[in-house]
Amino acid sequence: MSCNATDLSVLLGPNATEAANYICGQLSVVDSKFIDAAFAIDTTYLLFSAYLVFSMQLGFAMLCAGSVRAKNTMNIMLTNVLDAAAGGLFYYLFGYAFAFGSPSNGFIGKHYFGLKDIPTATADYSNFLYQWAFAIAAAGITSGSIAERTQFVAYLIYSSFLTGFVYPVVSHWFWSVDGWASPFRTDGDLLFRTGAIDFAGSGVVHMVGGIAGLWGAFIEGPRLGRFDNGGRAIALRGHSASLVVLGTFLLWFGWYGFNPGSFNKILVTYQTGTYQGQWSAVGRTAVTTTLAGCTAALTTLFGKRLLSGHWNVTDVCNGLLGGFAAITGGCSVVEPWAAIICGFVAALVLLGCNKLAEKLKYDDPLEAAQLHGGCGAWGLIFTALFAQEKYLNQIYGNRPGRPHGLFMGGGGKLLGAQLIQIIVITGWVSATMGTLFFILKKMKLLRISAEDEMAGMDMTRHGGFAYMYFDDDESHKAIQLRRVEPRSPSPSGANTTPTPV
């Protein structure tokens, strides 16, 4: 609202100046209240989204616990807790500053260490909390790849390094107003006139976590017993499909904060006085997220049925999550029908990556590198093919003639930007996390001993099992079998039923 007392006084007659000043003063008060309400609404929306994203840590914990053998349950759940705890401190001290410490250069941020000078007009505590939840999600992805054979100290080191440095640098490149490839750059010097479009993190979060896990699992090598002497893959199945399903639904629920919440604000109008506003875009983003996951789940269901002859619930859960990881990058800039294509192809990418991993004797207990790395990369390419110009202009600023989806008539410049994003993320994470895991291996801090691995880390490293269980091996099968001993023949010579001993 705006009010000019001089112009208004002409219309008011006697005592016009005093009346005009009074009216304008009251309107200014009302205007300030509207501004305060807008800040409160947007901050509440962002905080609620942050809580949803943080709830995904419980989903990761349950998914990981169900996907490993029972003898490693306590270990994997403890690593998920420490991803959040260590990530919280290191993201507070360094990560948020490296990611969003503006003004800075195109490579790394340099302000807000330890949240110094927060809050500002563009950065508040709620934004830190939301971005921290994203950072620890990337660390949680990596922990699944190296499960069941990694020393506890290695988890602490990699989680701190990833959340405090590696991930923040990538998020600065693509999400900060200073990032060299960011579509939010304020100087207008955009990569290929568009910047790399990764709305909620198919590359920034999922590829970073997946590629870090890829190097960790590759340098460690497969779990004992995963491949026989002839190189044939042997399934080391997780102990609880129930926990896998529970974790998947919790992640699904949290994804509605992950993707729609990435708008950061909801009270933004696109066309004043109409239903056209960011609230509508938030709803569309939730719909595209849902459709991609559902399509990927069904595609995986029938795909695995054709390949293995079974209706496998854990495979369907992974397919669902692969669809979510893929749509994350373009969820806000595509139409709902395009999300169905995204989910369908994401399931095929996951199935193909799993086949390739098996042939290369690569062992990832949660398929995290294939799911988040492979499907995340597909999500970036999908965005370059199907992004709508009008949605890009609504979210990233109105730029007439902006490059958009190739299949939508927008040319190939956005595709070029997306391919560059895939290349630089792969190179950066490989150079940093690959080197870290290699150093940990040389220092004998990465993998546990073969004896501890066979016995299980719950007993050897954490003082006891999560709960009583029997492993699916021959020794415990023998315990479960009932031994029987035949009775002496009866006087009549009739045979009798053996008596259990």
Question: Tell me, what's the pLDDT at 8?
Answer: 63
The H-or-E segment that residue 74 falls in is helix 73-90
Q: Confidence band (pLDDT; 50, 70, 90) for 2?
A: low
Say yes or no to pLDDT of 468 above 80.
no
DSSP 111: S
Q: What percent of the chain stands above pLDDT 70?
A: 89
User: What pLDDT is stored for residue 483 in this prediction?
Assistant: 42
Q: Which tens digit of pLDDT belongs to each residue from 394-436?
A: 999 888 889 999 999 999 999 999 999 999 999 999 999 999 9
For strand 499-500 and strand 484-485, is the pairing parallel, antiparallel, or unpaired?
A: antiparallel
Long-range contact list for 118-125, CB < 8 A, 24+ apart?
Answer: 124/43
d(CA 407, CA 335): 13
Rounded to two decimals, the pTM is: 0.88
End-to-end Cα distance, the chain: 88
Contact 363, 217 (CB under 8 A): yes
What integer pLDDT is reported at residue 181 of this predicted model? Answer: 96
Higher pLDDT, 2 or 318: 318
The answer to whether residue 500 scores a pLDDT higher than 90 is no
Residue 9 has pLDDT above 70, yes or no: no
Confidence of residue 28 (pLDDT cuts 50, 70, 90): confident
Asked whether the predicted pLDDT for residue 213 surpasses 60, the reply is yes
Within the chain, what is the greatest distance between any pair of CA atoms? 129
CB-based contact 57:136 (threshold 8 Å): yes
pLDDT single digits (tens) 243-285: 999 999 999 999 999 999 999 999 988 887 778 889 999 999 9
pLDDT band for position 496 (50/70/90)?
very low
pLDDT band (50, 70, 90) for residue 470: low
* Residue 10 confidence (pLDDT): 59
Q: What is the mean pLDDT of the chain?
A: 89
Average pLDDT over residues 368-385: 97
Provide the pLDDT confidence category of residue 122 given band limits of 50, 70 and 90.
Answer: confident
Owner of token pair 């801090």: 445
CA pair distance 227, 406, nearest whole angstrom: 43
Q: What is the mean pLDDT of residues 134-151?
A: 95
**What are the pLDDT digits (tens) for 310-331?**
899 999 999 999 999 999 999 9
Residue 475 is predicted with a pLDDT of: 46
pLDDT tens profile 478-494: 444 444 444 445 444 44
Sign of CA dihedral 21, 23, 27, 29: positive
Distance (Å, rounded) from C-alpha 82 to C-alpha 86? 6
Query: Two tokens at 220?
Result: 């460690």
Q: What is the mean pLDDT of residues 212-220?
A: 96
Q: Which domains does the chain have, with CATH numbers?
A: 40-468 (1.10.3430.10)
Q: What is the reported pLDDT for 469?
A: 56
pLDDT band, residue 142 (cuts 50/70/90): very high
Distances (CA, A) of 246 to 84, 287, 298, 366, 377: 20, 22, 18, 15, 26
**pLDDT confidence of residue 426:** 97
Q: Contact, 387 vs 405, CB < 8 A?
A: yes
